[in-house]
Amino acid sequence: MEETAVGGTIVTPVRKRRKFPAATVTWLAVTPFAAWAVARVAGLERGSLPTQLMTATPYAAAGSLVPLLIAAVGRRRAATAVALLATAALGFSVLPRALGTAEAATGRPFRVMTMNMLFGRADPATIMQLVREFSPDVLSTQELTPGAVADLDAAGLKELMPYRVLQDEWNARGSGLYSKHPLQEIANVMPPVGHHMPGAMISLPGGDPIEFIDAHPFPPLGGQVVNWNEALAAFPSASPDRVRVIAGDFNASLDHAAMRGLLSRGYKDAADQVGAGLIPTWPANKRVPPMITIDHVLVDRRVGVQEVSVRDVPGTDHRAVLAELTVPRTV
C-alpha cells in the first residue's frame, strides 16, 4: 500500500496460493497403488507397457506402505481402508515367495542349471567353474550361438556333458540342452511362437525318463507381447504320464497373469518353493543391480525342491539359476 502524488491510496491485493485439500493429496497417493493391486490380483495387465510394469510389483508392494502411512496420519478413514487393502493384496501376492522351505528329499536327485548367454557372450570359464562345482544333470541355455558352443566344448563341457540337443544360431533365437545322461530330442514340443525352445527326454538312472523343455519366449516388447502370451499358453500342461521340467528365460515374473496361468496347469516355481522367489535375475553385470526375476525353473508338482540359488556370470545380462530337485522314480 502506498500514497500517490494526487492523493489516495493504491491497494495491491495479496494473492493467496491455492492449496490442494489434504484429502485430495491423500487420494492421489493411494489411488495408483490401489489400481496396481487390482490389476495384479485380477490379472488385468494388457498390452506391452502394463505387462512390463507388472514385473515391478514387489517394489510396488513395498512402496504401498507410504500412502498407507499418509492416510493413517491424516486420519482419512476411507483412504486408509483402501490403502490397507492395497498393501495387503500386494503383500500376499509377493511375500510368500520369500517364505518357502525345502521339501523332503524323496526320489532321485536331479540338478538343473539354466542361463541366458546374451548372444553367446557369457564367459565360458565361469560357466565351466559352475558346472564343475554344481554338477548339473542338465544345463539349459538361451541365446546360444555356434561360437559359444565351440568355446564351451573347448573349455571342457563336451567331456562333462556329452549329450545335447542344440539349436544354436548367431542371434537371440539360439538355445540348447546339455546333459550328463543320454537324451532323445522331442520334435515340435513347442510351436514357433518364440525363440528356439528345444525339448528332450532325459534318461536318468534308476527310474523313468524326464521330459525337459528349454524356455525362451520373446520379451513382451511392443507387438511381441502377443507372441509372448501365445508362448506361455503353448507350454504343455503337466501330465500324469511323465514328469516334466521347464527351465529358462521366460521373460516373465510370477506377477504376470500369463505366467500364473502356466503354473496353474500343474507346475510350481522352484525358487518360490524354497523362499528364493524374490531373488532378481536381470539385469546382471550392469551399473544398476539386478531388479526383476524372469529366469525360472518350473517343475511338475510331484517334484521336490531342495535349494535354488543364482550366480553371476561375466559377459551376460542374466544370472544363472541353479536348482537342486528330487524327481519320482516312476510316474
3-class DSSP assignment, residue 2:
strand
> Smallest Cα–Cα separation from 216: which of 136, 319, 296, 124?
296
Q: Is residue 6 part of a domain?
A: no
Q: Angle at which helices 77-94 and 22-42 pack, to 10 degrees?
A: 30
3-class DSSP assignment, residue 243:
strand
135/239 same-domain check: yes
131/169 same-domain check: yes
Q: Is residue 2 part of a domain?
A: no
**Model pLDDT for residues 197-230, shown as the tens digit of each residue:** 999 999 999 899 999 999 999 999 999 999 999 9
Tally of domains in the chain: 2
CA distance 33 to 53: 13
* Contacts of 289 by beta carbon, 8 Å cutoff, 6+ apart: 280
Q: Is the pLDDT of residue 104 over 70?
A: yes
- Specify the pLDDT at position 243: 96
Peptide bond into 283 cis (omega under 30): yes
- Specify the pLDDT at position 2: 53
Of 53, 79, 97, the residue that ends a domain is: 97
**Model pLDDT for residues 282-322, shown as the tens digit of each residue:** 999 999 999 999 999 999 999 999 999 999 999 999 999 99
pTM value?
0.92
> What's at 3, amino acid-wise?
E
> Smallest Cα–Cα separation from 86: which of 159, 36, 15?
36
Structure-block grid coordinates of residue 106: 524323496
Q: Is residue 4 part of a domain?
A: no
Q: Is residue 16 part of a domain?
A: no
CA distance 33 to 239: 38
- When mean pLDDT is compared across 21-25, 28-32, 52-56, 80-84, the lowest value belongs to 21-25
66/183 same-domain check: no
Kindly state the DSSP code that residue 253 receives in the 8-state scheme: -
Q: Is residue 13 part of a domain?
A: no
Q: Is residue 123 part of a domain?
A: yes
109/78 same-domain check: no
194/62 same-domain check: no
CA distance 42 to 50: 13
- Specify the pLDDT at position 97: 96
CATH code at 270? 3.60.10.10
Per DSSP, what are the bridge partners of residue 307?
Answer: 324
Of 97, 130, 163, the residue that ends a domain is: 97
> What SS3 string covers 94-156?
HHHHHCCCCCCCCCEEEEEEEEECCCCCCCHHHHHHHHHHHCCCEEEEECCCHHHHHHHHHCC
What's the average model confidence in pLDDT over 135-158? 98
Given a contact cutoff of 8 angstroms between Cβ atoms, the answer to whether 177 and 212 are in contact is: yes
Q: Is the pLDDT of residue 174 over 90?
A: yes
251/200 same-domain check: yes
Mean residue pLDDT across the chain: 94
Q: Which domain, by its residues, includes 215?
A: 103-327
Of 57, 81, 97, the residue that ends a domain is: 97
- Residue 309 has, within 13 A of its CA and on its CB side, a CA count of 9
314 phi and psi angles, rounded to 5 deg: -55, 145
Given a contact cutoff of 8 angstroms between Cβ atoms, the answer to whether 281 and 290 are in contact is: yes
